[in-house]
Amino acid sequence: MSSLKDLFSPRGIAVVGASKDPTKIGHLILKNVVEYGYGGKIYPVNPAADEVLGLKAYPAVSTISGGVDVVVVSVPSAKVLDVVDDAGKAGAKHLVVIAAGFKEVGNVELENELVRRARKHGMRVLGPNIFGYVYTPVKLNATFGPRDVIPGNVAFITQSGALGIALMGSTILEGIGISALVSVGNKADIDDADLLEFFDEDPNTSVVLIYMEGVNDGRRFVNVASRISMKKPVVVIKSGRTEAGARAAASHTGSLAGNVALYETAFRQSGVLSVKSVEEAFDFVKTLSWNPLPSGERVVVITNGGGAGVQASDTLADDGLYLEKPPQDFVEEVKKIVPPFASLANPVDLTGMASEDWYYKSVKTALENREIDAVLVLYCHTALTSPMGVARAIHRAVGEAGARKPISVAIIGGLEAYEAIRYLTNLKVPAYPTPERAAHAIAAQIRYRRYREYLLKRILPGG
Which of 82, 418, 458, 459 forms a contact with its own copies (CB under 8 A)?
418
State the minimum distance, in angstroms, from the CB of residue 461 to its own copies: 37
User: What is the amino acid identity at position 111?
Assistant: E
User: Does the footprint of its own copies cover residue 349 (CB under 8 A)?
Assistant: yes
Backbone φ and ψ of 315, nearest 5°: -65, -45
- Nearest partner of 210 among 133, 155, 129, judged by Cα: 155
- Return phi, psi of residue 37, to 5°: 100, 25
Site for its own copies in 184-223 (CB under 8 A): 211, 213
401-412 core/surface letters (b: 16 or more CB in 10 A; e: else): beeebbbbbbbb
Cβ at position 59, least distance to its own copies in Å: 27
Q: Least separation, in Å, of the C-beta of 65 and its own copies?
A: 32
Continuous H helices in 300-349: 306-318, 328-335
On whether the CB atoms of residues 21 and 30 are closer than 8 A, the answer is no
Does residue 261 bind its own copies (CB under 8 A)? no
Q: Work out which of 138, 355, 413, 454 binds its own copies, going by CB under 8 A.
A: 413
Selected binder of its own copies within 35, 50, 201, 243 (CB under 8 A): 243
177 binds its own copies (CB under 8 A): no
Question: Which string of x and - marks every residue 38-77 that binds its own copies (by CB under 8 A)?
Answer: ----------------------------------------
- Residue with smaller CB distance to its own copies, 68 or 390: 390
Identity of the residue, 32 or 205, whose beta carbon is nearer to its own copies in the bound complex: 32
Measure the CA–CA gap between 21 and 44, rounded to whole angstroms: 13
Rounded to a whole number of angstroms, the minimum distance from the CB of residue 107 to its own copies is 10
Instruction: Based on the shown chain and the rule CB under 8 A, indicate whether residue 416 belongs to the binding site for its own copies.
Output: yes
List C-alpha distances in Å: 414 to 44, 78, 310, 353, 359: 48, 53, 21, 19, 20
CB of 88 to its own copies, least distance (A): 29
Which C-beta is closer to its own copies: that of 94 or that of 440? 440
Task: Tell me which residues in 285-324 interact with its own copies (CB under 8 A).
Answer: 304-311, 313-318, 322-323
Residue of 167, 366, 367, 455 interacting with its own copies (CB under 8 A):
167
| DSSP sequence for 255-299 | -----HHHHHHHHHHHT-EEESSHHHHHHHHHHHHHSPPPSSS-E
Contact region with its own copies (CB under 8 A), list: 80-88, 286-294, 339-347, 361-369: 339-347
**Buried-state track 423-444, b at ≥16 Cβ within 10 A, e below 16:** bbbebbbbbbebbbbbbbbbbb
Least separation in angstroms between residue 212's CB and its own copies is 10
- Select 27 or 117, whichever has its Cβ closest to its own copies: 27
Select 158 or 362, whichever has its Cβ closest to its own copies: 158
Residues 125-144 that bind its own copies (CB under 8 A): 144
Size of the site for its own copies (CB under 8 A): 79
- The DSSP line for 406-432 is -EEEEEESSHHHHHHHHHHHHTT--EE
| Nearest partner of 198 among 448, 456, 8, judged by Cα | 8
**Which of 5, 252, 396, 450 lies at the binding interface for its own copies (CB under 8 A)?**
252
45, 33 Cβ separation under 8 angstroms: no
On the 0-12 / 13-18 / 19+ scale of CB atoms within 10 A, 420 is buried
Residue 381 within binding range of its own copies, rule CB under 8 A: yes
Instruction: Specify the stretch interacting with its own copies by CB under 8 A; choose among 35-43, 49-57, 67-75, 273-281.
Output: 273-281
Cβ 259 to its own copies, closest distance in Å?
15
Separation CA 98–CA 386 (nearest Å): 48
Q: According to CB under 8 A, which residues from 100 to 119 bind its own copies? A: 105
Site string for its own copies, 2-31 (x = CB under 8 A): -----------------------x--x---
d(CA 21, CA 364): 56
Main-chain phi, psi angles of 64, to 5 degrees: -85, 130
Please tell me the distance from the alpha carbon of residue 172 to that of residue 178, in angstroms, as a whole number.
9
Applying CB under 8 A, the span of 82-90, 110-118, 228-236, 407-415 interacting with its own copies comes to: 407-415
The binding track of 421-460 with respect to its own copies, each residue x by CB under 8 A or -, is: ------------xxxxx-----------------------
Contact 42, 67 (CB under 8 A): no
Q: Measure the CA–CA gap between 336 and 279, rounded to whole angstroms.
A: 39
